[in-house]
């Protein structure tokens, strides 16, 4: 075997080993990351949600108001259909907050813990 062929064979073998090692490392990283991932939980059922739409000078607005009827403070966010989700807010027991989105279509699909 010539010098160039031996060198090419060694290079192919090294690249093959490198790609298998890289693939195994990437697969392990994805598995480890997904094992540590936990989906966000829905807020307890003691939260109440009220939604309505109204007409303003700029068009329709969709409103949502939640109330924490629980005994504890929770950090929650509103998950909106057809629009961006709300930010995390701390809600004391017996209090609440409201958000609105432009348009008639948006509505809150879920109150989620964060």
Rounded distance between C-alpha atoms, residue 101 and residue 107, angstroms = 8
Would you kindly state where each structural domain of the chain is located, as residue ranges? 1-38, 47-113
Give the pLDDT of residue 81: 93
Q: Is the pTM of this model over 0.75?
A: no
Q: Write the CATH number of the domain with boundaries 47-113.
A: 2.60.40
pLDDT of residue 13: 62
Q: What angle do CA 105, 108, 110 make, to 5 degrees?
A: 150
Cα atoms in the Cβ-side hemisphere of radius 13 Å centred on 68: 21
The tens place of each residue's pLDDT in the chain, 114 residues long, gives: 555 566 666 656 655 554 444 444 444 444 444 445 556 799 999 999 999 999 988 889 999 999 999 999 999 999 999 899 999 999 999 999 999 999 888 899 999 999
């Amino acid at each position: 075997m010539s010098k160039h062929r031996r060198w090419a064979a060694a290079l192919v073998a090294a690249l093959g080993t490198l790609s298998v090692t890289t693939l195994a490392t990437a697969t392990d990283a994805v598995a480890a990351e997904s094992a540590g991932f936990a989906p966000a939980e829905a807020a307890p059922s003691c939260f109440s949600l009220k939604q309505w739409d109204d007409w303003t000078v700029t068009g329709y607005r969709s409103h949502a108001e939640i109330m924490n009827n629980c005994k504890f403070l929770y950090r929650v966010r509103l998950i909106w259909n057809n629009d961006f989700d709300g930010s995390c807010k701390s809600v004391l027991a017996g209090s609440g907050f409201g958000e609105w989105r432009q348009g008639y279509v948006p509505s809150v699909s879920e109150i989620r813990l964060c």
